[in-house]
């Protein structure tokens, strides 16, 4: 019978780094193929430890022989002692090793638990990291500058359009002639500020993944729920930015000009739709607002990929 020794150093599974543990296989479906497998209990004073676990009771393969009495079994443990490995069936593990074996398996089970936590944390990080790059790229782009330019020009140069557009957007498209932008001229809108808050909330949720993997893994469900909420907010921001493109669509410009010519002061102002432009004529003066050069809507594909990755995260 193996005798337990006083614990003076860390046990095997505690000596591995997280990276080493991630690369380590803890289960085996072919224990007899492992190198340095012996069929007699190895001599020496080294303390053995559980290196692998196996359970092939649902398979049709031949049974293994336990090192203790060569009892036949299909579920048990690969024990490691020095360079030697030996098989111990689950019944002998319990009856022969007793409490000592509970100590060995407790270390092994802790390694399994930590490895699972590490993999789950890495899994959600793999979903998050590309999306963070996407968010940073949008933040560093000119898309908000272009959006605010169009919004600011409408507010200062065509105030009637700016003031009426949000209410007109609520009218049925069949009546008005097109689906009009709902938020482009919304009072008090600051889409850049919305985006800044989104990134701050995203970073705060990421922090939940820091620290011990076991603690972070317990929060995976909550993290995923929050990330899904942030993805929905991001979709809303993209829809708002897209309204720059919507505004300059021919049917939309035509509907806006028709509405303005009918309800603004037609004796003082005349509105005309052009190619990616809207013109307001006042006596001999005229104002032209055009689609910003270089405006490019962020691709929605990284957002779609992020959502798909979150859906596949194991909680």
pTM: 0.76
257, 162 in Cβ contact below 8 A? no
Rounded distance between C-alpha atoms, residue 262 and residue 46, angstroms: 94
pLDDT over 90 percentage in the chain: 62
Q: Give residue 47's pLDDT.
A: 83
Beta pairing partners, 73: 64
Rounded distance between C-alpha atoms, residue 306 and residue 301, angstroms: 8
Helical segments of the chain, H only: 12-15, 18-22, 90-92, 99-139, 143-157, 159-168, 173-176, 191-207, 213-218, 220-247, 250-263, 301-311
Q: Which of 110-114, 154-158, 197-201 has the lowest mean pLDDT?
A: 110-114
Q: What is the pLDDT of residues 181-202, one digit of tens each?
A: 999 999 999 999 999 999 999 9
Which helix (H) or strand (E) covers residue 3, if one does? none
* More confidently predicted of 164 and 97: 164
How much is the average pLDDT of 240-269? 94
Q: Give residue 3's pLDDT.
A: 40
Question: Does the pLDDT value for residue 116 go beyond 50?
Answer: yes
Confidence of residue 266 (pLDDT cuts 50, 70, 90): confident
Q: Give residue 198's pLDDT.
A: 97
């Amino acid at each position: 019978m193996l005798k337990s020794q006083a614990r003076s150093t860390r046990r095997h599974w505690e000596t591995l780094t997280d990276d080493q543990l991630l690369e380590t296989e803890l289960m085996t479906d072919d224990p007899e193929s492992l190198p340095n497998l012996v069929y007699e209990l190895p001599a020496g004073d080294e303390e053995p430890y559980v290196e692998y676990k196996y359970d092939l009771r649902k398979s049709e393969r031949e049974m293994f022989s336990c090192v203790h009495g060569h009892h036949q079994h299909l579920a048990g443990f690969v024990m490691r002692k020095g360079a030697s490995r030996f098989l111990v069936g689950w019944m002998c593990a319990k009856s022969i090793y007793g409490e000592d074996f509970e100590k060995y398996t407790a270390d092994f089970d802790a390694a399994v638990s930590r490895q699972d936590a590490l993999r789950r944390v890495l899994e959600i990080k793999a979903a998050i990291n590309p999306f963070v790059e996407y968010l940073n790229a949008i933040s560093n782009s000119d898309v908000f500058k272009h959006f605010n330019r169009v919004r600011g020009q409408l507010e200062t140069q065509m105030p009637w359009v700016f003031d009426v557009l949000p209410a007109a957007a609520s009218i049925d498209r069949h009546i008005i002639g097109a689906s009009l932008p709902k938020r482009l001229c919304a009072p008090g809108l600051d889409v850049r500020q919305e985006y800044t808050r989104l990134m701050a909330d995203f970073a705060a949720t990421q922090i939940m993944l820091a620290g011990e993997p076991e603690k972070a893994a317990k929060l995976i469900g909550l993290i995923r729920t929050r990330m899904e909420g942030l993805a929905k907010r991001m979709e809303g921001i993209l829809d708002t930015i897209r309204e720059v493109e919507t505004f300059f669509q021919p049917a939309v410009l035509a509907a806006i000009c028709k509405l303005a010519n009918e309800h603004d002061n037609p004796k003082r102002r005349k509105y005309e739709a052009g190619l990616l432009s809207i013109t307001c004529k006042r006596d001999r003066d005229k104002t032209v607002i055009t689609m910003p050069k270089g405006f490019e809507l962020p691709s929605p594909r990284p957002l779609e990929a992020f959502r798909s990755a979150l859906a596949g995260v194991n909680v």
